[in-house]
Amino acid sequence: MALLEDRSAAFIVRVWNERRDADAVAAEWRGSVEHVQSGQRTFFRHLETVVDFMKPHLEGIGIDAQQRFWERISNVIQDAGDAPVALSLEGGARTPPASQGGERPRRHPATPPK
């Protein structure tokens, strides 16, 4: 098990909407990202901060700029907008099927789920 732990990195990413007074400007999205193994954590307002935080931890386990991993991550973040995406290190990003968190068909609220 130690071999797997030496070659993996785990992160916890939390995102929330911070509301202000009713008179204030629109609510802001905020978040935090934590590297599980080290306990290091940072807070963010922009998704680019997540990439900047994760990069040295992933480079530490052998993912480097030569693999263009960070370009793919950055492109996915920029291109995704509000759509959920599934990231593949081999082929880039795609919209996942509904069974995996993609867009789901809308149903009438009174219709019970199957």
Please give the chain's pLDDT, 114 residues, in tens.
455 557 789 999 999 988 777 656 777 889 999 999 999 999 999 988 998 999 899 888 887 766 666 677 677 677 766 666 555 544 444 444 555 444 443 444 444 444
- Token duo for residue 103: 């867009």
- Token duo for residue 72: 């793919």
In a domain? residue 113: no
The neighbour count for residue 53, using CB atoms within 10 Å, is 20
Counted domains in the chain: 1
In a domain? residue 109: no
In a domain? residue 52: yes
In a domain? residue 39: yes
Domain coverage including residue 63: 2-100
54 burial type by CB count under 10 A (0-12 exposed, 13-18 middle, 19+ buried): buried
The structure tokens 């959920």 sit at: 84
In a domain? residue 60: yes
The structure tokens 């802001």 sit at: 28
Residue 59 carries which side chain, given as an amino acid letter? E
Residues in contact with 27: Cβ distance below 8 Å, sequence separation at least 6, in sequence order: 17, 18, 19, 20
In a domain? residue 88: yes
In a domain? residue 107: no
Its pTM stands at 0.53
Q: Report CA 68 to chain centroid distance, whole Å.
A: 17
Q: Rounded CA gap, 4 and 102, in Å?
A: 30
In a domain? residue 108: no
